[in-house]
Structure 1
């Protein structure tokens, strides 16, 4: 499970770093090499982007053997909210 989660977070870091800093990382190498992963984490945190830093710190928690914070699923909007939002806008 930890390897799957590491790879998933590394993929998110890849996309975010490419968008924010125009940097490309190797996802598989990050999951296999702890030294490379720590360098990528440092790079991500230095960018000053909150989402990027949050993802990097989640990955670092996995490297340290900690269980990352549980992801919370957003509650689905009620049927009334969806109905109000889309009435008159879709044609």
Structure 2
């Protein structure tokens, strides 16, 4: 018997603007969806301005669950579309 731990493999993005790195970071945290974590927010300068832009990327971190099967192939076949296998254990 194999047990697999899976979670949704979902990301979201948000476009941000600000006048400093602190403003961009605060805006990214303010738009953080429930169940997600901020994974990136690369900053670019706007030509001819002191303003900054960034695209914040958030990744889902909740929704972990387990699936069971008699063999590894059947276990991986049980992973729904849009989900990712985190761990496989044999019991």
Please identify the structure whose Cα radius of gyration is greater. Answer: 2
TM-score norm. by structure 2 comes to 0.24
The higher relative CO (CA closer than 8 Å, separation ≥ 6) is in 2
TM-score norm. by structure 1 comes to 0.24
Higher helix share: 1
Higher strand share: 2
